[in-house]
Structures are given as structure tokens and as C-alpha cells.
Amino acid sequence: MPRLRASDLRGLSMEELRLRLEELREELVKVKAAAATGGSMENPARIGQIKKDIARVLTVMRENELKILRGKEEHA
């Protein structure tokens, strides 16, 4: 799976971001379980990549929340 870019994520809706976050968290659980049970991993660095992708998604989601809040403050 290619690395997620924040610029690509900014074009997604909040619902799409939530779905992507859910998928990444599920994948992280599976990869961690495989590593813990001694299964062979194709790419041991994948756990770190998934964690960083999760952080990117959460960052973009927070940016969107702040944009909404700032918009409400300006109109108040």
C-alpha cells in the first residue's frame, strides 16, 4: 500500500477520512498480531508506516475541525 500524503487526504470528506482511519487501525491490529505470533512479515517497517499514516489522517481531520470552528467564530 503506498504511503498516504497529507495533500491527498485534504481532498477527502470527513466520512472518507473516518473510513480510511478505521481501515488503517484494522490493518495495524492484523500486522501487530502477525508479528506477535511469530508470523513472517514481508516488511517489518510496515507497523511504523501504518502508525504514521494514522497520524496523518488524524491531523487532517483536526485541521478540518479547526476550519469549521474558525468559520463559526468569524460569523458570531
Range of the domain at 71: 6-75
pTM of structure: 0.86
CATH number where 24 lies: 1.10.287.310
Torsion 58-60-61-66 (CA) sign: positive
**Confidence category of residue 40, pLDDT binned at 50, 70, 90:** confident
Closest CA to 6 of 69, 54, 76: 54
pLDDT of residue 50: 96
**pLDDT surpassing 70 at residue 51:** yes
Residue 1 placed within a domain: no
Q: How many domains does the chain have?
A: 1
Element (H, E) at 50: helix 46-75
